[in-house]
Protein backbone atom coordinates (compact mmCIF):
# COMPACT_ATOMS: atom_id res chain seq x y z
CA UNK A 1 0.00 0.00 0.00
CA UNK A 2 0.99 3.62 -0.40
CA UNK A 3 1.69 5.01 3.08
CA UNK A 4 1.76 8.69 2.19
CA UNK A 5 -1.22 10.57 3.69
CA UNK A 6 -2.47 7.51 5.58
CA UNK A 7 -3.74 7.96 9.14
CA UNK A 8 -2.00 5.80 11.73
CA UNK A 9 -2.39 5.19 15.46
CA UNK A 10 0.46 3.56 17.42
CA UNK A 11 -0.04 2.52 21.03
CA UNK A 12 2.69 2.46 23.67
CA UNK A 13 4.80 4.66 21.46
CA UNK A 14 6.67 7.15 23.64
CA UNK A 15 9.81 5.00 23.49
CA UNK A 16 11.33 1.78 22.22
CA UNK A 17 9.72 -0.19 19.42
CA UNK A 18 6.56 1.92 19.39
CA UNK A 19 8.49 5.14 18.96
CA UNK A 20 10.56 3.63 16.14
CA UNK A 21 7.39 2.51 14.34
CA UNK A 22 5.78 5.92 14.73
CA UNK A 23 8.89 7.64 13.41
CA UNK A 24 9.18 5.25 10.45
CA UNK A 25 5.55 5.80 9.49
CA UNK A 26 5.99 9.55 9.75
CA UNK A 27 9.01 9.37 7.46
CA UNK A 28 6.81 7.59 4.92
CA UNK A 29 4.32 10.47 5.00
CA UNK A 30 1.75 8.96 7.33
CA UNK A 31 -0.14 11.19 9.78
CA UNK A 32 0.64 9.51 13.09
CA UNK A 33 -0.93 9.74 16.52
CA UNK A 34 0.92 8.16 19.46
CA UNK A 35 -0.52 7.07 22.79
CA UNK A 36 0.71 6.06 26.22
CA UNK A 37 -0.09 6.31 29.91
CA UNK A 38 2.69 8.71 30.94
CA UNK A 39 1.77 12.19 29.77
CA UNK A 40 5.26 13.71 30.00
CA UNK A 41 6.81 10.89 27.98
CA UNK A 42 4.10 10.86 25.32
CA UNK A 43 4.07 14.63 24.96
CA UNK A 44 7.86 14.81 24.80
CA UNK A 45 8.11 12.22 22.04
CA UNK A 46 5.26 13.80 20.10
CA UNK A 47 6.84 17.23 20.24
CA UNK A 48 10.22 15.86 19.23
CA UNK A 49 8.85 13.98 16.23
CA UNK A 50 6.05 16.41 15.33
CA UNK A 51 3.20 14.00 16.00
CA UNK A 52 -0.28 14.13 17.49
CA UNK A 53 -0.62 12.52 20.90
CA UNK A 54 -3.27 11.22 23.28
CA UNK A 55 -2.76 10.08 26.87
CA UNK A 56 -4.63 6.93 27.77
CA UNK A 57 -4.50 3.38 29.07
CA UNK A 58 -5.30 0.85 26.34
CA UNK A 59 -6.60 -1.55 28.99
CA UNK A 60 -9.23 0.96 30.07
CA UNK A 61 -12.30 0.71 27.84
CA UNK A 62 -13.22 4.38 28.12
CA UNK A 63 -9.67 5.45 27.22
CA UNK A 64 -9.48 3.03 24.28
CA UNK A 65 -12.78 4.18 22.79
CA UNK A 66 -11.84 7.83 23.28
CA UNK A 67 -8.44 7.38 21.65
CA UNK A 68 -9.70 5.73 18.47
CA UNK A 69 -12.68 8.05 18.16
CA UNK A 70 -10.48 11.12 18.60
CA UNK A 71 -8.27 10.12 15.68
CA UNK A 72 -11.27 9.39 13.46
CA UNK A 73 -12.96 12.65 14.39
CA UNK A 74 -9.86 14.64 13.48
CA UNK A 75 -8.96 12.90 10.22
CA UNK A 76 -12.25 11.36 9.11
CA UNK A 77 -10.70 7.89 8.90
CA UNK A 78 -8.17 5.49 10.35
CA UNK A 79 -5.94 3.44 8.05
CA UNK A 80 -3.39 1.79 10.34
CA UNK A 81 -3.55 0.58 13.93
CA UNK A 82 -0.37 -0.68 15.57
CA UNK A 83 -1.04 -2.47 18.86
CA UNK A 84 2.36 -2.11 20.48
CA UNK A 85 1.57 -1.28 24.13
CA UNK A 86 2.70 -4.01 26.48
CA UNK A 87 5.02 -4.89 29.33
CA UNK A 88 6.81 -7.89 30.73
CA UNK A 89 6.70 -9.76 34.02
CA UNK A 90 9.14 -12.62 34.52
CA UNK A 91 8.62 -14.70 37.67
CA UNK A 92 8.30 -18.34 38.62
CA UNK A 93 4.73 -19.61 38.72
CA UNK A 94 4.76 -20.00 42.50
CA UNK A 95 5.81 -16.36 42.97
CA UNK A 96 3.32 -14.80 40.53
CA UNK A 97 0.25 -13.20 42.10
CA UNK A 98 -3.17 -13.16 40.53
CA UNK A 99 -3.09 -9.36 40.53
CA UNK A 100 0.19 -9.38 38.59
CA UNK A 101 -1.27 -11.75 36.01
CA UNK A 102 -4.36 -9.56 35.68
CA UNK A 103 -2.19 -6.48 35.18
CA UNK A 104 -0.20 -8.02 32.35
CA UNK A 105 -3.35 -9.28 30.63
CA UNK A 106 -5.04 -5.89 31.02
CA UNK A 107 -2.35 -4.23 28.90
CA UNK A 108 -1.09 -7.06 26.68
CA UNK A 109 -4.41 -8.76 25.87
CA UNK A 110 -7.42 -6.66 26.82
CA UNK A 111 -5.76 -3.51 25.50
CA UNK A 112 -5.22 -4.84 21.96
CA UNK A 113 -8.74 -6.28 22.04
CA UNK A 114 -10.32 -2.92 22.89
CA UNK A 115 -8.24 -0.97 20.39
CA UNK A 116 -8.78 -3.56 17.66
CA UNK A 117 -12.53 -3.65 18.23
CA UNK A 118 -12.88 0.11 17.88
CA UNK A 119 -10.53 0.28 14.89
CA UNK A 120 -12.26 -2.67 13.18
CA UNK A 121 -15.59 -0.88 13.31
CA UNK A 122 -14.05 1.97 11.34
CA UNK A 123 -12.14 -0.34 8.99
CA UNK A 124 -15.34 -2.19 8.08
CA UNK A 125 -17.19 1.09 7.58
CA UNK A 126 -14.55 2.49 5.22
CA UNK A 127 -13.87 -0.80 3.44
CA UNK A 128 -10.32 -1.54 4.51
CA UNK A 129 -7.51 -1.03 6.99
CA UNK A 130 -4.24 -2.34 8.42
CA UNK A 131 -3.85 -3.88 11.86
CA UNK A 132 -0.38 -4.70 13.19
CA UNK A 133 -0.17 -6.55 16.51
CA UNK A 134 3.23 -6.58 18.20
CA UNK A 135 3.68 -9.91 19.94
CA UNK A 136 6.95 -11.65 20.82
CA UNK A 137 8.88 -14.82 20.17
CA UNK A 138 7.76 -15.60 23.74
CA UNK A 139 4.34 -16.19 22.18
CA UNK A 140 5.72 -19.01 20.04
CA UNK A 141 7.20 -21.23 22.73
CA UNK A 142 6.61 -21.29 26.46
CA UNK A 143 9.53 -21.08 28.86
CA UNK A 144 10.23 -21.01 32.58
CA UNK A 145 9.42 -17.77 34.38
CA UNK A 146 7.12 -16.47 31.64
CA UNK A 147 3.70 -17.58 32.86
CA UNK A 148 2.29 -14.05 32.70
CA UNK A 149 4.13 -12.53 29.75
CA UNK A 150 4.34 -15.62 27.56
CA UNK A 151 0.69 -16.55 28.00
CA UNK A 152 -0.38 -12.99 27.22
CA UNK A 153 1.45 -13.17 23.90
CA UNK A 154 -0.01 -16.61 23.16
CA UNK A 155 -3.43 -15.04 23.75
CA UNK A 156 -2.64 -12.12 21.46
CA UNK A 157 -1.55 -14.54 18.75
CA UNK A 158 -4.83 -16.44 19.08
CA UNK A 159 -6.92 -13.28 18.89
CA UNK A 160 -4.95 -12.12 15.88
CA UNK A 161 -5.77 -15.34 14.02
CA UNK A 162 -9.47 -14.86 14.79
CA UNK A 163 -9.45 -11.23 13.67
CA UNK A 164 -7.53 -12.09 10.52
CA UNK A 165 -10.12 -14.65 9.46
CA UNK A 166 -13.02 -12.39 10.36
CA UNK A 167 -11.78 -9.14 8.82
CA UNK A 168 -10.01 -10.13 5.62
CA UNK A 169 -13.37 -10.23 3.78
CA UNK A 170 -13.59 -6.50 4.57
CA UNK A 171 -10.17 -5.85 2.98
CA UNK A 172 -8.55 -5.55 6.40
CA UNK A 173 -5.06 -7.00 6.70
CA UNK A 174 -4.27 -8.26 10.20
CA UNK A 175 -0.60 -9.01 10.83
CA UNK A 176 1.32 -10.34 13.81
CA UNK A 177 4.96 -9.41 14.47
CA UNK A 178 7.16 -11.47 16.79
CA UNK A 179 10.32 -9.56 17.73
CA UNK A 180 13.12 -11.47 19.37
CA UNK A 181 15.33 -9.69 21.92
CA UNK A 182 15.45 -5.95 21.18
CA UNK A 183 17.78 -3.49 22.87
CA UNK A 184 15.30 -1.28 24.72
CA UNK A 185 14.60 -0.73 28.41
CA UNK A 186 11.82 -3.37 28.26
CA UNK A 187 13.78 -5.97 30.23
CA UNK A 188 15.03 -3.41 32.74
CA UNK A 189 11.46 -2.34 33.50
CA UNK A 190 10.59 -6.00 34.04
CA UNK A 191 13.48 -6.35 36.49
CA UNK A 192 15.61 -8.58 34.25
CA UNK A 193 19.32 -8.01 33.75
CA UNK A 194 20.72 -8.58 30.27
CA UNK A 195 23.93 -7.89 28.44
CA UNK A 196 23.90 -4.98 26.00
CA UNK A 197 25.17 -5.97 22.58
CA UNK A 198 25.46 -4.13 19.28
CA UNK A 199 24.73 -7.44 17.57
CA UNK A 200 21.23 -7.66 18.99
CA UNK A 201 18.13 -6.09 17.49
CA UNK A 202 17.32 -2.39 17.68
CA UNK A 203 13.81 -0.96 17.48
CA UNK A 204 14.64 0.25 13.98
CA UNK A 205 14.82 -3.30 12.61
CA UNK A 206 11.28 -4.03 13.81
CA UNK A 207 10.00 -0.76 12.36
CA UNK A 208 11.70 -1.39 9.01
CA UNK A 209 10.17 -4.87 8.80
CA UNK A 210 6.70 -3.48 9.49
CA UNK A 211 7.07 -0.77 6.86
CA UNK A 212 8.07 -3.45 4.37
CA UNK A 213 5.04 -5.58 5.24
CA UNK A 214 2.69 -2.61 4.91
CA UNK A 215 4.10 -1.73 1.49
CA UNK A 216 3.11 -5.11 0.04
CA UNK A 217 0.33 -4.52 -2.52
CA UNK A 218 -3.12 -4.66 -0.96
CA UNK A 219 -4.09 -7.83 -2.83
CA UNK A 220 -1.68 -9.74 -0.56
CA UNK A 221 -0.37 -9.61 2.98
CA UNK A 222 2.07 -11.25 5.38
CA UNK A 223 -0.03 -12.85 8.13
CA UNK A 224 2.80 -13.30 10.64
CA UNK A 225 6.54 -12.88 10.81
CA UNK A 226 9.32 -13.05 13.37
CA UNK A 227 12.42 -10.87 13.50
CA UNK A 228 15.64 -12.33 14.89
CA UNK A 229 19.13 -10.91 15.14
CA UNK A 230 21.42 -12.55 12.60
CA UNK A 231 24.26 -13.18 15.05
CA UNK A 232 23.41 -11.95 18.57
CA UNK A 233 26.34 -13.78 20.22
As annotated, the active-site residues are: 149
| Residues present in the chain in total | 233
Cα–Cα distance between 3 and 172 in angstroms, integer? 15
Contacting residues for 138 by C-beta, under 8 A, at least 6 apart: 146, 149, 150, 153
Residue 18 near residue 10 (C-beta atoms within 8 A):
yes
Distances in Å between the Cα of 130 and the Cα atoms of 89, 96, 217 are 29, 35, 12
Dump the DSSP string for 12-30: S-SSHHHHHHHHHHHHTT-
Amino acid sequence: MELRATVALVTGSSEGIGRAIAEALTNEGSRVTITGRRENAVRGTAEELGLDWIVGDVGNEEDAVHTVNSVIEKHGRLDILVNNAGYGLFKPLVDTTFEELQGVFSTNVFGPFLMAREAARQFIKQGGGEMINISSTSGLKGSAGRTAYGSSKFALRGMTECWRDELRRHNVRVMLVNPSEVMTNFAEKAGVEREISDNKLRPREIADAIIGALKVDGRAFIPEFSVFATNPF
